[in-house]
Chains A and B, each alone.
Chain A
Amino acid sequence: MIWHLDLTLLFLIVIIAIAAITVRDLLSAIMLLCAYSFLMAVVWVEMHSVDVAFTEAAVGAGATTAFLIAALSRTKRWEKK
């Protein structure tokens, strides 16, 4: 474990998570959640837990993003004020 890399990644993850819940554009929020999942997968690999990282990358960054975009295509893109 390299703690500098861990700290940087976790800091980025927190920033992305805050951005995902504050952004108005829902498509941007979905893409930020995708980036969140991907960075989380990198953190899992960093912690030598490759199996969890695999699941996170396949489900979090792949399937969930597709589901959310498919759900967004049924509704409005912009959040109401």
Chain B
Amino acid sequence: MNSKTRGMGGGKGGDVIVETVARLMVPFIQLFGLYVIIHGAGGPGGGFQGGVIIASSFVLYVVAFGIVKAGNRFSEAKNIALFSTGVYLYAGVGLLCIICGLAFSAEFLNYGYIPLTHHFEENRALGMDLVEVGIGITVMAVITSIFFNLVWKREGEEVEGED
């Protein structure tokens, strides 16, 4: 990363104020994202919105510290592992519902048949939360991956018309 690239694509971040505010804000944004994911079943929000909020905390991290540091911390391989984990969690809960509900009526994503607790309704709530967590992980990883790929200026690549 040479000194010609600057801003979000450059290796260096901004000034002290931006870095300090980002350092303070990023954990709280992520905490809010987790809150939105967990409370998605009963109120406004859900896996998708929470995932987008957590991904926007990574956007703030890139704005403050530069793409190189963020890319080293949150590499492409980790991204791919995370978004396939989310999809597998979603599909796995659905298949678990089919397997556990074979004796009754084998339905995909009918959470009540997962034997987590003794109550059908509680099983349903817990299964819904698991699916929301899977959606949240996938959305977070995909949006972070898209943003990193848009921002990242690779070595030797010609930056056209930066004015």
A interface vs B, CB < 8 Å? Answer: 50-51, 53-55, 58-59, 62-63, 66-67, 69-71, 73-78
Contact = CB atoms under 8 A, between A and B. Distances in A.
Nearest to B148: A70
Interface residues of B, number: 25
B1 to A, nearest CB: 14
Interface stretch (B12-20, B42-50, B78-86, B113-121): B42-50
B44 A66 contact: no
B59 A75 contact: no
Interface stretch (B69-77, B94-102, B125-133, B155-163): B155-163
A70 B52 contact: no
A51 B45 CA distance: 6
Contact of A67 (B147, B160, B162, B163): B147
A50 B159 CA distance: 41
B49 A76 contact: no
A74 B162 CA distance: 7
Contact of A76 (B59, B147, B161): B161
B84 to A, nearest CB: 21
A50 B44 contact: yes
A81 to B, nearest CB: 15
Nearest to A70: B150
Contacts of B49: 54-55, 58
Contacts of B91: none
Contact of B147 (A54, A70, A75): A70
Given A58-B52, A76-B163, A77-B163, A63 B46 contact: no
